[in-house]
Amino acid sequence: MADALKETEVQGANVTGKISTKEKIGYGIGDIASNFVWGMVSSYLLFFYTDIFGITAAAAGTLFIVTRLWDAINDPLMGIVIDKTKSKHGKTRPYLLYLPIPLAVISVLTFITPSFSEGGKLVYAYITYTLLGMAFTAINLPYASLMPRMTRDSGEKAELNSYRGMGRTIATIIVAAATLPLASLLGNGDEKIGFPITMGIYSVVATVLYFVTFKSCHERVVPKNTDKLVSLGQSVKDMMKNRSWSLVSISATLWFLRSGTMNAALIYYIKYYLGQPGMIPFYLTLLNVANLLGTVLAFFVLKKMGKQKFQCDHVCHSNRTVYCSIPAWKRFNNSILHFIFPGKYISWVR
């Protein structure tokens, strides 16, 4: 097993040295690409299904649960596929070259409203959304796996993760601010037409950006004797025994649950409770701008604190920035604060 975990240098690269800023930016651009697709899913797909596509909220919620259960199986399988990949481009980079176009096509299909019955629409939604999740996993998991193959230096990895975080938030800001206005403009007021066109634009941009990441980034670190790597089951057992991994995993799970719930419910809250549908892009943009400020702050905090604390504090600073940013705008309807941030959290920030 020890031999299986050894690493070697390839192409004469210094795997423990500094990565150029250009390459770090190239890596961060990959998450801009990913979130032109997944930003649409997390912020707008539920709203699209219920208010435009024409299925009930219960049906859409069940759809999301079922597809997420499949993802729990699909993701580890994709990890095995990556481990077994052998290519002149490495193990992870080929997926950034060959899969952006299929992902783009499936993304657009997901936001098309067919002239089917309600049952037919539901079947169509299950097929397209499942395919979208699989296609996204097939490109985003290799993208995430690229980082540890770029360098063995933990400080460089943390900086790469910061560039990735900034890229992610830049994309979500653009998606939050531009989607509804674009869908209305391009569809001439008909969002059934405007949404797939808007998704098509995002997909073309994402495809180009994935190619930029492929060209900019290089795999320098490769494991030896990959055929002798420990089994998936043993890997899971080893991870469960790692206290730090468990704590970070629990923290990340809770953060994503909170973030996903907020993003999905916020549109409905603004449209139906506040009665301000025209303000949806503004509120979503503000939320993501706050996340960007937290990510940028975390980038500089990294240089002044221990590397082991960075991941947890990255999340804490990002969330704290969200908490602190919105109350500063006195003209906001205060009820939105109690919906997004419970009172005990607002008092904690103070």
What is the DSSP secondary structure assignment for residue 272, as one 8-state letter? I
Report the percentage of the chain scoring pLDDT > 70.
78
Q: Is the pLDDT of residue 43 over 70?
A: yes
Q: So what's the pLDDT on residue 14?
A: 52
Other Cβ atoms closer than 10 A to 46 = 21
- Express each pLDDT in 164-194 by its tens digit: 988 998 999 999 999 999 999 999 999 999 9
Q: Is the pLDDT of residue 317 over 80?
A: no
Residues whose CB falls within 8 Å of the CB of residue 1, separated by 6 or more in sequence, listed in order: 228, 230
- Express each pLDDT in 133-176 by its tens digit: 999 999 999 999 999 999 988 888 888 988 998 899 899 999 99
| Percent helix, strand and coil across the chain, each to the nearest 5 | 80, 0, 20
Other Cβ atoms closer than 10 A to 185 = 13
Over residues 30-49, the mean pLDDT reads 93
Q: Is the pLDDT of residue 225 over 70?
A: no
Residue 221, beta-bridge partner list: 9
Counting other chains too, the contacts that 224-232 makes at CB distance below 8 Å and 24 or more residues apart are: 224/3, 224/4, 224/6, 224/7, 224/8, 225/3, 225/4, 225/6, 226/4, 226/83, 226/84, 228/1, 228/3, 228/4, 229/4, 229/83, 230/1, 230/4, 232/76, 232/79, 232/80
- 42: closest CA among 34, 54, 30? 34
Q: So what's the pLDDT on residue 31?
A: 95
Q: pTM for the complete prediction?
A: 0.76
Residue 223, beta-bridge partner list: 7
* CATH 3.40.50.1820 for domain 20-219: no
Distance CA 33, CA 272 (A): 31
Q: Is the pLDDT of residue 81 over 60?
A: yes
CA 248 to chain centre: 17
Counting other chains too, the contacts that 299-303 makes at CB distance below 8 Å and 24 or more residues apart are: 299/159, 299/162, 299/165, 299/166, 302/155, 302/158, 302/159, 302/162
Spell out the domain ranges in the chain: 20-219, 238-350
Per the CB < 8 A criterion, the answer to whether 333 and 340 are in contact is no
Q: Is the pLDDT of residue 324 over 50?
A: no
Residues whose CB falls within 8 Å of the CB of residue 67, separated by 6 or more in sequence, listed in order: 126, 129, 130, 133
The pLDDT-based confidence of 313 (bands split at 50, 70, 90) is very low
Distance CA 115, CA 121 (A): 8
Q: Which of 62-71, 254-263, 328-337 has the lowest mean pLDDT?
A: 328-337
Q: Which two tokens stand for residue 344?
A: 């005990």
- 196: closest CA among 44, 347, 326, 57? 44
Distance CA 139, CA 148 (A): 16
CA 99 to chain centre: 17
Distance CA 143, CA 158 (A): 15
Residue with tokens 């759809």, as numbered in its chain: 63
Q: So what's the pLDDT on residue 305?
A: 65
Distance CA 224, CA 83 (A): 11
Q: Which of 27-36, 161-170, 288-297 has the lowest mean pLDDT?
A: 288-297
Cα dihedral 318, 316, 41, 148 sign: positive
The pLDDT-based confidence of 110 (bands split at 50, 70, 90) is very high
Over residues 85-96, the mean pLDDT reads 92
